[in-house]
Structure 1
């Protein structure tokens, strides 16, 4: 939606009279879209910035939209999220945020957030509605704008940031993902769907912009759902193994950390292992076959300690058939000539030097529980960078700031 020009015609290739089949949907487009999601999942979340803080640092007045336009949701809270795109080629999330802060009263338009490949800027609280998609939608939905970018890599980064942010909002408001694009029923809406099923607007974004990249709204919804499931992941320990998880979702927000080569000091496993004085490697120790779950992204290594290009995500469950010490570091044997660093599974006990909160996969605080100074906490692998801060992973989907240890 190109909000800067409030009276505009639809900019997408589709019109409201067209079918719901999206432009470019075919075998190649499907492959391209899947590739974009796969690429997106290799990127880390940039973190959420808040407009009032950005403006304060720049000495610019924050023109609070909801001060005089407090739009209350019809059911007291958001019912879903509308996905927009700006249709403003070359304008970044920052450009849009600054413009809307200055001009919203003149253009009669405002949204909750702008997203691009480098930033997620939340304009205002999501407790109140905005002027983004007509009177009906404005009293129902949170509304998020995706800025246009110029390259495929930037597009993948931008939809990744958008999907992670939207998934977090779903959790925040206790909403479950449900694609409304094709039937007008659910929690994840395109502006196109609002126009078709609710009215009060005639825009068709982000369909046309997505199709430019061989991408579909359905693919974007799958990316949101992926992160929603990941952010809600939990783990359960088992006495039969150092850890096992019922959750199969893999961790991406921690993928900015180049999967751990991890700490040499790992806790001992119940699996017996042979040791060797050799500085290079030892024979793999025979052990009872057990299932073990990665708690940190990890590369697969060969029997000689050479790292391969294969990266396994946190949450992946392996059948472990033995252990091996390579150059002083313990590995688990997880397949034919395949090994993972053991501390990504066993973890390392660390003592908190400060009271600490627990955070999720995108750096949002999970609840109000405080881990007290002096508590021993098991962490997995090396440090993980989420946004601009470093964390240690404490489960498939939980993190504690590294500075607290």
Structure 2
């Protein structure tokens, strides 16, 4: 949806503007091969705009501040709308910086921008945005896919987009279903919103996908693939969708059974909690402590003395919960804290909602916390 040349004057009811591509553009590659290429790539994780801007001394212009909150009509998102930016050459970083500076003038905003290199989350998905018209803004999370110039980068970008979307579906206890052909489901294109809900008349990302011989049906298939890998408990009661953006850590969150550990979250993973390494008998090795935020390559899973471990080297294992984590229920509203025990500016996490924590409790400035990312913590007393 191209906004730099056409600025709207309508607020909440706005639908973001995108040129309509002709569907007779050359289809350079079969869609199935795009998904095959996509699956060969690792997920890049999530960069939160407010924290990114903080490191650059740029003011974060919070969309949902000062009463400007779009509450979902059912208390949580009902699905995800996929857009594309229609600005060739503009990266997720370029778009994020531009929107942060100009959204007040454009009356347009989305939850995230995705390209081949990164996912930049603009704001918490707990509230709606101005992205696809009044009939969609209070229903859906909205994600912008940036235009790429090569087939490989396109595949990387849809891979990041699909994994991020699958994680969001898990967070809000939504099951993937394709709305693009019927107008009923959790995965929507902007075009599907135009067709079935109205309030907008745009057709992205169909034209851009068609350029690469791709389609929303194929994208849905990729989302479903990653959703299934992440092991949703589809029988769980839906929560109210108030998990904080800090819980989006870039991990696959693949669960076995109801909850905690995975069958095998293979590939490059980020340690969410400081971890020692152990040998195949469960004895601690002489290797030093691996700190949270370190990337490790998981090659196998192993049950040692009744505890789940993940292999990250030759006869080298770490406790699985340091990567996979465990869902815990908040008994009260809770703030998040940084590594020094200082309260962050992120919205509160609301009681009775499920939050994924990693590893055991840690002590910061005399208080006990659970890690919810390598750099963010919630006080342990807030969990049942």
In the superposition, the TM-score normalised over structure 1's length comes to 0.60
Structure 1 Cα separation of the partners of residues 24 and 80 of structure 2: 23
Alpha-carbon offset, residue 13 of structure 1? 3.1
Per-residue CA shift, 1:282-317, capped at 9, x if unaligned? xxxxxxxxxxxxx9558xxxxxxxxxxxxxxx89xx
Structure 2 Cα separation of the partners of residues 161 and 172 of structure 1: 17
Residue 42 of structure 1 contacts residue 256 of structure 1 at CA under 8 Å; is this kept in 2?
Answer: no
Per-residue CA shift, 1:148-169, capped at 9, x if unaligned? 0100011011001100111000
Secondary structure, aligned partner of 2:20: coil
Change beyond 3 A, Cα 1:210–1:367: same
Counterpart in 2 of 1:285? none
Alpha-carbon offset, residue 356 of structure 1? 4.6
Counterpart in 1 of 2:356? 367
Counterpart in 2 of 1:2? 2
Counterpart in 2 of 1:58? 56
Counterpart in 1 of 2:184? 185
Per-residue CA shift, 1:295-354, capped at 9, x if unaligned? 9558xxxxxxxxxxxxxxx89xxxxxxxxxxxxxxxxxxxxxxxxxxx969x957577xx
Counterpart in 1 of 2:35? 37
Counterpart in 2 of 1:339? none
Alpha-carbon offset, residue 11 of structure 1? 2.0
Structure 1 Cα separation of the partners of residues 318 and 164 of structure 2: 31
Change beyond 3 A, Cα 1:221–1:297: farther
Structure 2 Cα separation of the partners of residues 40 and 296 of structure 1: 19
Alpha-carbon offset, residue 136 of structure 1? 0.9
Alpha-carbon offset, residue 371 of structure 1? 3.2
Alpha-carbon offset, residue 6 of structure 1? 3.7
Structure 1 Cα separation of the partners of residues 181 and 299 of structure 2: 35
Change beyond 3 A, Cα 1:88–1:24: closer
Structure 2 Cα separation of the partners of residues 76 and 132 of structure 1: 18
Secondary structure, aligned partner of 1:201: coil
Per-residue CA shift, 1:43-74, capped at 9, x if unaligned? 11111001111111111111111113210010
Structure 2 Cα separation of the partners of residues 24 and 179 of structure 1: 24
Change beyond 3 A, Cα 1:255–1:39: farther
Counterpart in 2 of 1:305? none
Alpha-carbon offset, residue 2 of structure 1? 1.6
Among 15, 20, 44, the alignment partner of 1:12 is: 20
Residue 255 of structure 1 contacts residue 297 of structure 1 at CA under 8 Å; is this kept in 2?
Answer: no
Q: How many residues align?
A: 274
Q: Pairwise mapping of residues 257-336 of structure 1 onto structure 2 (< 5 A)?
A: 266=280, 297=299
Change beyond 3 A, Cα 1:255–1:56: closer
Counterpart in 2 of 1:47? 45
Secondary structure, aligned partner of 2:124: coil
In the superposition, the TM-score normalised over structure 2's length comes to 0.63
Counterpart in 1 of 2:216? 217
Alpha-carbon offset, residue 231 of structure 1? 1.0
Secondary structure, aligned partner of 1:90: coil
Gaps of 5+ in 1: 15-21, 237-244, 258-262, 269-294, 299-313, 316-342, 374-388, 390-405
Alpha-carbon offset, residue 230 of structure 1? 0.7
Secondary structure, aligned partner of 2:153: helix
Gaps of 5+ in 2: 9-15, 232-253, 271-276, 283-296, 303-309, 327-353, 363-373, 375-384
Structure with a larger share of its residues in strand? 1
Secondary structure, aligned partner of 1:145: strand
Secondary structure, aligned partner of 2:65: helix
Alpha-carbon offset, residue 370 of structure 1? 3.7
Residue 10 of structure 1 contacts residue 202 of structure 1 at CA under 8 Å; is this kept in 2?
Answer: no
Q: Pairwise mapping of residues 99-110 of structure 1 onto structure 2 (< 5 A)?
A: 99-110=98-109
Residue 177 of structure 2 contacts residue 187 of structure 2 at CA under 8 Å; is this kept in 1?
Answer: yes
RMSD: 3.6
Counterpart in 1 of 2:86? 87
Change beyond 3 A, Cα 1:344–1:256: closer
Alpha-carbon offset, residue 115 of structure 1? 0.4
Counterpart in 2 of 1:155? 154
Residue 357 of structure 1 contacts residue 368 of structure 1 at CA under 8 Å; is this kept in 2?
Answer: no
